[in-house]
Structure 1
Amino acid sequence: MEETKTTKLNKNGLFYISRLATIFSILMYVSYIPQIMNNVTGVKGNPLQPLCAALNSILWVSYGLLKQKKDWPVVIANLPGIVLGLVTFITAL
């Protein structure tokens, strides 16, 4: 069964969207670094949001790893959220 041109375009588009989403997920969690630096220097932030982000990331990484066919973009996109979310939470206390 031959793929149509539209099906190929949709698959290629989905591939690029998934890669872009992975990059932006990582950037979202890397953006916690300035808050961590502020927390360490005494300007404490709200710990609730980074805790929720860390828990959300733990669930998504678990989902990606537990699927029969591992979902590596989901895992890679959310790993920084576990580490940086927890560090931000801990330093905000």
Structure 2
Amino acid sequence: MKKEKFFEMMGWIGTVTAVLMYVFYFPQIENNLAGHKGTFIQPFMAGVNCVLWVSYGLFKEKRDWPVAIANAPGIIFGFAAAFTAL
């Protein structure tokens, strides 16, 4: 396997695992809404971090789709987990 293909495959595997990491905020959001509040700051900062990474991926000269796609769910689920914890 060529080095270039290997790193492309690693990027997409990283994308899938990052998406799953943020989707797994869903149980915390459910617990927050059920009255078992979690912490606010960690998911809030994850949301801020994801906004920065999605912006980086989309606005650089040659778009970095794996980075943008991997972090997009973190914006939604990170902020949802943060604000339902309040």
What band does the TM-score fall into relative to the shorter chain? over 0.9
Q: CA RMSD in A?
A: 0.9
Matched, 1:66 2:36: no
Other-structure match for 2:83: 90
1:68 aligned counterpart, secondary structure: coil
Q: Give the drift of 1:65.
A: 1.1
Largest Rg, 1 or 2 = 1
Taking the aligned partners of 2:31 and 2:13, their CA distance within structure 1 comes to: 29
TM-score (normalised: structure 2): 0.96
Aligned-pair distance for 1:17? Answer: 0.5
List per-residue Cα deviations over 1:35-56 (Å, max 9, x = no partner). 0000000000001110110000
1:46 aligns with 2:39: yes
- May I ask how many residue pairs the two structures share in their alignment? 86
Is residue 2:1 matched to residue 1:11? no
Q: Where does structure 2 lack aligned partners over 5 or more consecutive residues?
A: none
What 5-or-longer segments of structure 1 have no aligned partner?
Answer: 1-7
Deviation at 1:61, TM superposition (A): 0.5
The sequence identity of aligned pairs, in percent, is 48
User: What TM-score, normalized to structure 1?
Assistant: 0.89
Map of 1:3 onto structure 2: none
